[in-house]
Amino acid sequence: MPDRPPAPAGAAAPWPGTVVIRGGTVVDETGTRQADVLVRDGRVVAVEKRITIPGGATVLDAGGCLVAPGLVDLHAHLRQPGAEEAETVESASRAAVLGGFTAVVAMPNTDPPVDNAAVALEVLALGAASLCRVAVAGAITVGRAGERLAPMGELAALGVRLFTDDGAGVQDGGLMRRALDYARGLGVTLAQHCEDRAIAAGGLMHEGEWSARLGLPGVPAAAEEAMVARDIALVAATGAPMHFLHLSCAGSLSLVAAAKAAGMPVTAEVAPHHLALTDAELAAYDPLFKVNPPLRSAADVAAVRRACATGTVDAVATDHAPHAANTKEAPLDEAPPGMLGLQTAWPVALAALHRGDPGLGADGEAVPALSVADVIGLLSWRPARIAGLDRAGGGDQGGPVAAGEPANLCVLDPAHTWTVEAGALASRSGNSPWRGRTLTGSVRHTVVAGEPVVIGGEAQR
């Protein structure tokens, strides 16, 4: 097995055209400046104050917008193979680029799951034909059953950098310890969906005031916190890096903050819905708001936002989880958990983390505001690094926006207000919690490998 994984597969071929992104504010990890961006043959050619438009160039107006490295989603359920009625790699990639994402990490809980090279190659091939870059996460255990290790070496050889049984946590601590030891040798990162199944006890929403009142079985925060605590102890024992998926509770974030302070190699992501929605959304018993981990209390929402401001959280990842409409028109104990996220992540993160809009989950809680650049960092270069999709990891995501760099870019409008209507969603499913609501912040253009796949908010293919 190689010491270091090869460059990830699945990158699209460069688009042989010329694009000028004009009149925007360029934002990347190196800073913010007014500049036009010239793109040719899949690469950024120039980033300068006023670029003369070459003949035949496609001009993208970026007035009032931020021109940033494309967003990178660490956590998307593309549903293919196995649940194509809910989503396909192609439909998800369209939702992704409309949401400003130029790369997504496909979660392995497909049917069959990504626990072997054949399925990984299938998803990578579908990704190569899609609108954005699709990386694949592999399963930690065979069949995600939590019983024996999946062939992580075989998958790592294909460029798989993240492994997770997402949808469930690895319940057996002994098995998880062996997985971490094995992953360390491969140079890959394990990602955990932290949920102690026995403590969760089949709960359907966050356990607390609302679950008690609504008569719904609850998932206590302790179900997440207990596994975070266990895994931090295992990271200490093995020295292997660990990424925590979709953390939702104040207690989990305190544990991660302490682990980081102790210098441990842990990273954490949070989902947009945990930044902006509380368990009170379940008051009308709408399964649209059933998600795992569940929507938590307002205090937890505030803690999640604070953890984004303090550096405890490394990434905002969508946990985009499409479900066919009929499956959500069921009793709460039958409806599957999950909600769409790709097309709304940017405005929701902006509203929750930068503007602190009222009515979004943590009203009355004091939460520091992040700069727009920091919000974009949580959605772009920081997750790119965790996924190994950044330049240092041999990838082409996360910027910077500079001459010679791969042209994976998004043009974000921070002020445009729009209503989330079913027709505006590219996903095959409609289970967006923001359906019918108005959001401020939109995606004007997206450029993938030099190709303008979204122009003026419209997907080009």
- Cβ contacts of 261 within 8 Å, gap of 6 or more: none
Active site residue 319: yes
- Give strand pairing partners of 315: 269
Minimum separation from the CB atom of position 169 to Zn ion (A): 8
Indicate which of other proteins, Zn ion, none lies near residue 166 (CB less than 5 to 8 Å, by partner kind): Zn ion
Minimum separation from the CB atom of position 109 to Zn ion (A): 8
Minimum separation from the CB atom of position 282 to Zn ion (A): 19
Three-state secondary structure readout of the chain? CCCCCCCCCCCCCCCCCEEEEEEEEEEECCEEEEEEEEEECCEEEEEECCCCCCCCCEEEECCCCEEEECEEEEEECCCCCCCCCCCCHHHHHHHHHHCCEEEEEECCCCCCCCCCHHHHHHHHHHHHCCCCEEEECECCEHHHCCCCECCHHHHHCCCCCEECCCCCCCCCHHHHHHHHHHHHHHCCEEEECCCCHHHHCCCCEECCHHHHHHCCCEECHHHHHHHHHHHHHHHHHHCCCEEECCCCCHHHHHHHHHHHHCCCCEEEEECHHHHHCCHHHHHHCCHHHCCCCCCCCHHHHHHHHHHHHHCCCCEECCCECCCCHHHHCCCCCCCCCCECCCCCHHHHHHHHHHHCCCCCCCCCCCCCCCCHHHHHHHHCHHHHHHCCCCCCCCCCCCCCCCCCCECCEEEEEEEEEEECCHHHCCCCCCCCCCCCCEEEEEEEEEEECCEEEEECCEECC
Indicate which of Zn ion, other proteins, none lies near residue 252 (CB less than 5 to 8 Å, by partner kind): none
Residue nearer to other proteins on the CB measure, 285 or 418:
285
Minimum separation from the CB atom of position 16 to Zn ion (A): 39
Q: Which stretch binds Zn ion (CB under 5 A): 186-194, 274-282, 363-371, 376-384?
A: 186-194
Residue nearer to other proteins on the CB measure, 48 or 333:
333
Indicate which of Zn ion, other proteins, none lies near residue 278 (CB less than 5 to 8 Å, by partner kind): other proteins
Minimum separation from the CB atom of position 126 to Zn ion (A): 22
Minimum separation from the CB atom of position 1 to other proteins (A): 41
Q: Are 369 and 351 in contact (CB under 8 A)?
A: no
Q: Which stretch binds Zn ion (CB under 5 A): 120-128, 187-195, 257-265, 298-306?
A: 187-195
Residue nearer to other proteins on the CB measure, 249 or 316:
249
Residue nearer to Zn ion on the CB measure, 160 or 271:
271
Indicate which of other proteins, Zn ion, none lies near residue 283 (CB less than 5 to 8 Å, by partner kind): other proteins
Residue nearer to other proteins on the CB measure, 175 or 214:
214
Indicate which of other proteins, Zn ion, none lies near residue 94 (CB less than 5 to 8 Å, by partner kind): none
* Site for other proteins, rule CB under 8 A: 206-209, 211-218, 220-221, 249, 278, 280-281, 283-286, 296-300, 326, 329-334, 359, 362-365, 436-437
Minimum separation from the CB atom of position 220 to Zn ion (A): 17
Residue nearer to other proteins on the CB measure, 148 or 213:
213
Minimum separation from the CB atom of position 168 to other proteins (A): 19
Indicate which of other proteins, Zn ion, none lies near residue 306 (CB less than 5 to 8 Å, by partner kind): none
Q: What angle do CA 217, 219, 221 make, to 5 degrees?
A: 145
**Main-chain phi, psi angles of 85, to 5 degrees:** -70, -25
Residue nearer to other proteins on the CB measure, 211 or 380:
211
Indicate which of Zn ion, other proteins, none lies near residue 193 (CB less than 5 to 8 Å, by partner kind): Zn ion
| From candidates 144, 193, 296, 382, binder to Zn ion by CB under 5 A | 193
Options 36, 314, 319, 413, the catalytic residue: 319
CA distance 384 to 433: 26
Residue nearer to other proteins on the CB measure, 280 or 424:
280
Q: Restricting to residues 114-173, which ones interact with Zn ion according to CB under 5 A?
A: 166
Indicate which of other proteins, Zn ion, none lies near residue 148 (CB less than 5 to 8 Å, by partner kind): none
Residue 243 in contact with Zn ion, rule: CB under 5 A: no
Q: Which residues bind Zn ion (CB under 5 A)?
A: 166, 193
Catalytic residue numbers read 319
